[in-house]
Amino acid sequence: MKSICVFCGSSDAVHADYKAAAFQMGVTLAQNGIRLVFGGGKTGLMGEVANGALSVGGEVIGVIIPSMNTAALAHTGLTRMEVTPDMHGRKARMHELSDGYIALPGGFGTWDELFETITWAQTGAHEKPVGLLNVKNYYAPLLAAMDHAVAEGFVFAEHRTGIACEAEPDRLLDSMGRYIHPREAVKRWLKEE
């Protein structure tokens, strides 16, 4: 993977452990020669992941919409900032620029981006790895919900197990590097649905 898109929260009102993990994720990406693509913000985990990558000379591309491209919200120290007309275009551009996707802790926006990415993999629109950085076990309830969806027949097990989940950035990258896209499950899912 040469480029990874990171989805994450932009709130500053979160535990310091989340911010530290985001910074380390950025450092780890850069130290592995992986370009960071993210939402372009300077606040919360968004700002921390970018700062982490930049602190060790990493390449960082932000993709932002006009209403967020303000002095209060936009990161000004990036390698490149791209401005898209709307959120749909923003997500499409981030996907286009990336070889894999990682969700750090976040809220509705992060989950929207994460689940769109998973859904696109499920339908064969991409074959790129998706991972969760499970800081402070943040994603435990979501993982339990995914497991429940598998048990109830709404999700194929191959699609669920294809989502990498680790608490440490280096272990997450290793896990994502072993990803094998479940092509047969995609075919089965499209036929059955």
DSSP type of residue 7: E
pLDDT in tens, 103-114: 999 999 999 999
Based on its alpha-carbon atoms, the radius of gyration of the chain, rounded to whole angstroms, reads 16
Write down the pTM of the prediction. 0.94
149 Cβ contact partners less than 8 Å away, ≥ 6 residues apart? 155, 160
CA distance 6 to 49: 8
In the block, which residue shows the tokens 């272990």? 171
Q: What is the pLDDT of residue 189?
A: 66
Q: What is the pLDDT of residue 184?
A: 81
DSSP type of residue 74: B
Tokens of 96: 């286009």
Q: What is the pLDDT of residue 123?
A: 86
Inter-residue contact 155 to 149 (CB < 8 Å): yes
What does each C-alpha distance from 13 to 19, 106, 112, 141, 142 come to in angstroms? Answer: 10, 12, 20, 21, 21
Instruction: Map out the domains of the chain with their CATH numbers.
Output: 3-192 (3.40.50.450)
CA distance 144 to 92: 28
Q: What is the pLDDT of residue 124?
A: 86
Q: What is the pLDDT of residue 193?
A: 45
Tokens of 157: 């097990």
Residues of the chain falling short of pLDDT 70 = 189, 192-193
